[in-house]
Amino acid sequence: MNRFAELLDRLAYEHGRNNKLRLITDYFRTTPDPERGWALAALAGALTFRYAKPGMLRTLIAERTDPVLFGLSYDYVGDLSETIALMWPQPAPQASPQRGEGEESPSLSDVIETLATLGKAELPAQLARWLDALDETGRWALLKLITGALRIGVSARLAKTAAAALGGKDPHDIELLWPTLQPPYEAVFQWLEGRGEKPVTADPAPFRPPMLAQAIQETELAMLDAADYMAEWKWDGIRVQAVAGIGADGARMARLYSRTGEDISKAFPDLLDALRLPGAIDGELLIRRNERIQSFNVLQQRLNRKSVTAKLTAEFPAHLRAYDLLANGDEDLRERPFAERRLLLEAFVTLLADAHVDVSPMVAFTTWDELIAARADPAGAGPDAAAVEGVMLKRRDAPYLPGRPKGPWWKWKRDPFLIDAVLMYAQRGHGKRSSFYSDYTFGVWAPGASGDELVPVGKAYFGFTDEELLQVDRFVRRHTVNRFGPVREVMHEPGQGLVLEVAFEGLQRSTRHKSGVAMRFPRINRLRWDKPPGEADRIETLERMLDRNAIA
Amino acid sequence: MATNTYLSKMRPEDILLPTLSGVCCERGGFYIDPTRPVARALITHGHSDHARAGHGAVLATRETLDLMRIRYGDDFAGTSQPVRYGETVTLGDVAVTFHPAGHVLGSAQIAVACNGLRVIASGDYKDAADPTCEPFALVPCDVFITEATFGLPVFRHGDPAAEVAKLLHSAALFPERAHLVGAYSLGKAQRVIAMLRQAGYDAPIYLHGALESITTYYRNRGIPLGDVRPVRLTDRSKLGDSITICPPSSLTDLWARRFPDPITCFASGWMRVRARARQYGVALPLVLSDHADWKGLTATITATGASEIWVTHGQEDALVHWAVMNGLKARPLAIVGYGNEEEEAVIPGHAEGASPESITTDHGDSEGAVVIDSGQPLRGFRHDSEAGGERGK
């Protein structure tokens, strides 16, 4: 554990991608199997053992520390694992300057192998023994590991790239193999070190790392040649990969994956049945009801359900709107240009002939002005227009590349909704923003018992620059009228307060919020130091947006 | 003079009264570490949030007075009077004694006694070893006024020598790279140098210009610092395999980029918390503090035997809670004006491109900023270079 903890610790402070790669590759080179394999799995987010829930960690620390002091410390540090690592009472009264290197200190393999078989009831006591045996860094790394959130600025991609560098291989090769590999990856390391054959893919329905788009603005279009690109609607659902194949036993196997490779097949049995042809479709998961694609709000109602019943699938029928074809039968199409894949996709979906799957229509254009007009009025998308969240631009000649390459794909979202709201409460943030008031609850004016009053309509914690964060943080500290634990109530009178221009993607009715509305993806667009709170928007403005947003 | 009946009812507030401008002693006609110019000020130590220019008369240790003179010039106060550790001065009907606080050179706790009741204003202090100043002296008292800069149980400073060893280990591991150590200009910088010498490092240590005058003063007071050279006399691009001490703000300056592949280190108690180290973009955090950690604060409070504590600045909520849970009377002075402005003036995530100037506050002397936009006096001690720069990272 200590070497792995040391690696995580150094990675957490390292900024440069190349330095991070060097650190990880060095670690792989100098660490034996299976330890390094488990480390790769941890860095790539491929561990599947039972993660400890934050609640369990809180209980453990609560048994050992004063709850108020823990609360204040957590509020300050802004990270549960780190707070516990720092506060954990050390068995020896004097902090040792060396790392805890006694026999008791567990290795990463010990931890993972123990967790694989440990009963749920035994976990807290085992965890406490490990925490006793480790030093601050070790405790921090262990807690990060078992809560499943390393957050040290290392992506799965980076970890795989570092592994590939061990044998001078192309990281893409590892990506292609990845879905079929199991930790601790001894065979992969053998291959990378030139001591073994390349492992073969055996999964008939593997996940393929998706290609993602960069955002683009209207002003940037001029730099691109319209003739190089094709456009299609961007649908407001969940990006998925629908894969079907024939297993070694001859049986058909179908799987639905989320964008991150999570297998979400169980949640959408109604869609799985439609995947009768071997192949891999990249598309958007939507709800199609009464011949129409429904808004994201409707999809969310299905997503929030724990059990999938016949009633649910009847009420919220899943639909796949296909964007791309990554494999046709056994043939990998990802090296082919988009325009060609698109034709293959249309043929594939026609052959599939299932009402649950259709092809996302293209948006015809020859000049950027035509595309600008189409985006401004998505009515061109027909009855499904309410589920459009912008347009996608794809280079005709681009292969399907994993990750988010700059250039081949662009997403151009529709303009967000904007309102002016008043800052009401602020809370300290987490992570790099811990100790700064960075989470803002804002409200709009509504008729109250004694005249107009502000009702909270949402909370946002990004969208502003670091400089603006400093300004708002200072404002919060100087205009605090009340404190509730980590939350501060901020002056919000018609004549005194801070107006925030809030951008958001959509609105839905909510019984949880006093205002009756909930925003989707709200963020701070601008600080309106110039505007008195009395001139901020009213709840009626939001209600009108709600009507506009709603669909039949 | 107080009558006998009055004597028996004496309250701590009759000796020292917290006000917006600092702790005030009406009977003795003085303030301790006032944040605004006053007629008579007693100063605990030279950091500029505690020692400000412009008072009528100043009573402090010789070192504190010298440091104020270095920073503010000869006319830093109307008159000044040096006082030795342990020496008692009578002001009005109160007896004032300065005792070592172990914070920086010349730092003092100020004991104010009247009619058998003793209140100690401890300023900033630490109970850890420091080769550059007198160790903290434990003085029994009835009321102990304490800081709480690191007043949370997550702050465990550990062994200072181990942190210096970490720096030397890195220097040995990367001999081609320059090690830049950010350290506050008064106290920390000299302590790092002295501790490197204690650890056996005998190569020249280079010094940023902002640290020269105070470091020279330390040397003149007999603190052994070895071969210390101004970095301005050297070609920085040739300073691989070297250690340079600089103000924390310089770590992110263009100035730092002239060094060969520099490793940025920062010596501060805040380095215990990862988010703070990352907010600075520090590659090698050194947990080295001139303030007491949680254990130091709570152990010191207990050892003074005080039945009541007042908490001036820092994480006062937690320390007050601890004191109350341990049967002491405790109050944060924040409610009467010592605010928690300590977390201002740091930009998180400088990696995102925040300007280096705004990341830190050390450059010594920011005594100007006592007034905020509303025209009201700033609540509490304004940070400056040292304590202030250190707070809230």
Residue A183 has pLDDT above 60, yes or no: yes
Helix (H, G, I), strand (E, B) or coil at B19: strand
Q: Does any CB of chain A come closer than 8 Å to the CB of residue B317?
A: yes
pLDDT of residue A120: 83
**Mean pLDDT of all residues in B345-362:** 30
Spell out which residues of chain A touch residue B159, defining contact as CB-CB under 8 Å. 95, 97
Q: Is the pLDDT of residue A297 over 60?
A: yes
Cβ-defined contact of A477 to B340 (cutoff 8 Å)? yes
Q: Which CATH number fits domain A214-413: 3.30.470.30, 3.30.56.10, 3.40.50.300, 1.10.3720.10?
A: 3.30.470.30
Mean pLDDT confidence for B251-268: 88
Distance from CA of A432 to the nearest CA of B (A): 5
Give me the residues of B, 70-89, that contact A with CB < 8 A. none
Q: Indicate whether B381 pLDDT > 70.
A: no
Does residue B350 register a pLDDT over 60? no
- Yes or no: domain B4-154+291-339 corresponds to CATH 3.40.1360.10: no
Decide if A66 touches B, using CB distance below 8 A: yes
Classify residue A143 by burial, with Cβ atoms within 10 Å: 0-12, 13-18, 19+: buried
Q: Inspect the interface and report whether the beta carbons of A466 and B158 lie closer than 8 Å.
A: no
CB distance A255 to A247 below 8 Å: no
- Grade residue A204 by pLDDT with cuts at 50, 70 and 90: confident
Asked if B277's CB is within 8 angstroms of A435's CB, the reply is no
Q: What is the structure's pLDDT at A159?
A: 93
Structure tokens at B250: 């310089």
Question: Which tokens is A347 given?
Answer: 């043929």
- CATH 3.60.15.10, chain B: domain bounds: 4-154+291-339
Average the pLDDT over A191-206 and give the result. 85
Q: Which residues of B touch A137 (CB under 8 A)?
A: none
Instruction: Report pLDDT digits (tens) over A169-181.
Output: 988 788 778 877 8
CB B81 within 8 A of CB B59: yes
Higher-pLDDT residue of A464 and B205 is B205
CA angle in degrees (0–180, nearest 5) for A479-A484-A490: 20
Using CB atoms and an 8 Å cut-off, which of residues 278-307 of chain B contact chain A? Answer: 278-279, 281-285
ipTM over 0.90? The verdict is no
Average pLDDT over residues B158-176: 88
Q: Once rounded to an integer, what is the mean pLDDT over residues B14-38?
A: 91
Enumerate the domain spans of chain A.
Answer: 2-147, 214-413, 417-549
Does A17 lie at the interface with B, CB-CB under 8 angstroms?
A: no
Q: How far apart are CA A54 and CA A58, in angstroms?
A: 6
Q: Which residues of A76-112 are buried (b: 16+ CB within 10 A; e: fewer)?
A: bbbbbbbbbbbbbebeeeeeeeebbeeeebbebbebb
% of chain B beyond a pLDDT of 90 = 65
Share of chain A above pLDDT 70, in %: 95
Whether the CB of A86 is below 8 Å from some CB of chain B: the reply is yes
Q: What does the mean pLDDT of chain B come to?
A: 83
Give me the CATH code for the A417-549 domain, please.
2.40.50.140
Mean per-residue pLDDT, B206-232: 96
Alpha-carbon distance B358 to nearest alpha carbon in chain A (angstroms): 9
Q: Is the pLDDT of residue B218 over 70?
A: yes
Residue A536 is which amino acid?
A
Across the interface, do B159 and A435 touch by the CB < 8 Å criterion? no
pLDDT for the residue numbered B336: 38
- CB A13 to CB B344 under 8 A? no
Please compute the mean of the pLDDT values over residues B289-296 and round it to a whole number. Answer: 96
- The pLDDT value given to residue A260: 77
A164-168, A197-201, A395-399 — most confident range = A395-399
**Interface contact flag, A12 B274, Cβ < 8 Å:** yes
CATH number of A2-147: 1.10.3260.10
Rounded mean pLDDT of chain A? Answer: 88
At A49 the pLDDT is 66
Pick A73's closest partner by Cβ from B153, B345, B392.
B153
* CA-wise closest residue to A148 among A56, A268, A240, A14: A56
Q: Do B278 and A432 touch (CB under 8 A)?
A: yes
Interchain pair B273, A86: CB under 8 A = yes
The H or E element spanning position A541 is helix A539-549
Q: What pLDDT was estimated at residue A452?
A: 92
**B352 contacts chain A (CB < 8 A):** yes
pLDDT bucket at A139, cuts 50 / 70 / 90: very high
- Chain B residues whose CB is inside 8 A of the A432 CB are 275, 278-279, 348-349
- Between B131 and B169, whose confidence is greater? B131
Residue-wise DSSP of B274-299: HHHHHHHT-SEEE---SS--HHHHHH
**Site of tokens 């920086």:** B104
Indicate the CATH number for domain B160-286: 3.40.50
